[in-house]
Structure 1
């Protein structure tokens, strides 16, 4: 009986370990550049913030040596006068007064969970007098990640091919295939448990 319990416990523990390892593997992106969709949420809830419209999508994400750097564009740059990510100021990489946009760059500790941020809004246009700071969160959709292929110059005609995008092949598996694997493993767990119960009942009947 001890051997039977040991076998069932081994199957259950191994299956849960495999499932948890699979989730971690899917969340990781290998070194490279990606376009990733994201949503700006309210700081104290999962509701979409009004500030969501002031951030252009998608963002560009660079993964290198275990470090992740995000680049994105803020529109209505004149109104969004301050932006802090995880308590730190962002780096401004470019400004366009004509388009009222600003490109910013910042490191993040993770893409798997919402990234805390804060913005400062100053509006003195159109009869408005609004000055406020408030918390937001950036929720990145890792499932939307697409690797960015740099533009390559042709040596024959000296022209540049347009930058292309392709699905991020470096990710272990897409969500659908992982769901199927998880269902299969859960099935193994239930089958093992069922076999254990049947064997226990048979042993009891022979006593």
Structure 2
């Protein structure tokens, strides 16, 4: 009789352990990210499947994730801002406009900010795309799929960039010294400066022509390729608890079978 009482206890313990493990996995991400700013890569997926959306190229990477008291917010830069007239994210069962942090009409960009519940599951969003020059006007539902394995603290990247600039400061000193020496030859220096100015002007004119000729509509990235879902947290503990759960269930079924055969 005591053995029969032990079986439900073991089964219940396995179930509770599995539930606790899944719950801890969901909370692990927020616990791991301390307050601060992080860079994270992402892809824009279609609403109906994991193919890359045509809007993927118009959201610049990486995103910056702000963490404050366990709450996450994403900051993302959009290019071709004038085309994307609406950008909404879920809120209270509906969709609300994202917050515009800054915009640059000359560069046709803007920076949007919106809250996140998690980096582990794709975030649905709605955009409205309008291109008057070609009479293009459509609504789209897209999904932000963040790659949590790419998370990097912003401060760490800034420190690395600063270290990379240190050797450049030494070379800059050498360049300055060379520049002073060249001042002794005014004719050659003025000729070089004139040539540099002409080259810079030519590059500017080329850039203006290139930007003015950009009349393309949103490119449809017809990559029916499936985007690999962003890696999640370590699943080893879950696998272990599932194994315990399965063994416990088999043990219970075996005991029931043996008791009936008797």
Deviation sequence 1:67-97 (CA, Å, 0-9, x none) = 2211001111232232222222222222334
Are the equivalent residues in 1 in contact too, given 2:18–2:245 (CA < 8 A)?
Answer: no
- The counterpart of 2:145, out of the listed 139, 145, 153, is 139
2:175 is matched with none
Aligned-residue offset at 1:47: 3.3
Q: Is 1:183 matched with 2:185? A: no
What's the C-alpha RMSD, in Å, of the aligned pairs? 3.1
Instruction: Give the unaligned 5+ runs of structure 2.
Output: 165-230
* Pairing partner for 1:105 from 109, 113, 118: 113
* Corresponding position of 1:69: 73
C-alpha displacement of 1:195: 5.2
- Cα offset, 1:143, TM superposition: 3.4
Contact 1:4–1:196 (CA under 8 A) maintained in structure 2: no
Measure, in 1, the Cα distance between the counterparts of 2:253 and 2:47.
Answer: 49
Q: Secondary structure at the match of 1:56?
A: coil
The Cα offsets for residues 73-132 of structure 1, whole Å up to 9 and x where unpaired, read as: 11112322322222222222223344332211122344343323222222144xx22122
Identify the structure with the greater strand proportion. 1
Provide the residue aligned with 1:170 in structure 2.
Answer: none
Post-superposition offset of 1:191: 4.0
Q: Distance in 2 between matches of 1:31 and 1:142?
A: 16
- Equivalent in the alignment of 1:18: 20
Question: Is there any run of 5+ residues in structure 1 with no aligned partner, and where?
Answer: 153-159, 164-173
Query: In structure 2, do the counterparts of structure 1 residues 197 and 106 end up closer, same or farther at CA, with 3 Å as the change threshold?
Result: closer
Give the conservation status (yes or no) of the 8 Å contact 1:69–1:108: yes
The TM-score, its normalising length taken from structure 2, stands at 0.58
Bigger CA drift: 47-56 or 137-146?
Answer: 137-146
Give 1 or 2 for the bigger CA radius of gyration.
Answer: 2
Structure that is richer in helix per residue: 2
